[in-house]
């Protein structure tokens, strides 16, 4: 005799918050050599889309990493972030020095793939 549970089994699915997912992916891109800090998060919307605009500070600790920072800065605007339910609409470097970048990233809720 097979006994069925009276309530369906619930499975907890952990979804990473998009801001922390971006921080994790930037850290991976820098091979964890840079400090990555989210300093601003704002809701964003147009008539058609909604999303979030994030501000990040990316700092390398040593002048020996200056070339790595420049290489990262060249690659960042074209990088494909893995953000289920969202896509990156814009990634702009708003400030750059030898060891620090400030970056603004706009993510849009994907109307085709819900989060």
What are the residue boundaries of the structural domains of the chain, listed by start? 39-109
The two most distant CA atoms of the chain are separated, in Å, by 71
The model's confidence at residue 17, banded by pLDDT at 50, 70 and 90, is: confident
Rounded CA-CA distance 22/55 in Å is 11
Sign of CA dihedral 62, 103, 78, 112: positive
Mean pLDDT of 29-42: 92
Q: What pLDDT is attached to residue 7?
A: 56
Report, as an integer, the average pLDDT of 105-114: 86
- pTM for the structure as a whole: 0.80
Query: Under DSSP, is residue 65 helix (H, G, I), strand (E, B) or coil?
Result: helix
Chain mean pLDDT for the chain: 85
The confidence score (pLDDT) of residue 6 equals 57
Domain 39-109 has CATH 3.80.30.20: no
- pLDDT tier at 111 (50, 70, 90 boundaries)? confident
């Amino acid at each position: 005799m097979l006994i069925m549970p009276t309530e369906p089994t619930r499975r907890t699915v952990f979804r990473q918050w998009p801001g922390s997912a971006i921080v994790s992916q930037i850290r991976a891109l820098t091979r964890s050599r840079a400090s990555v800090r989210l300093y601003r998060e704002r809701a964003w919307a147009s008539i058609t889309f909604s999303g979030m605009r994030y501000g990040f500070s990316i700092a390398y600790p040593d002048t020996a990493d200056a070339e790595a920072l420049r290489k990262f800065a060249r690659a960042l605007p074209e990088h494909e972030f893995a953000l289920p339910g969202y896509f990156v609409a814009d990634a702009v470097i708003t400030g750059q020095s030898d060891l620090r970048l400030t970056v603004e990233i706009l993510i849009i809720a994907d109307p085709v793939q819900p989060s």
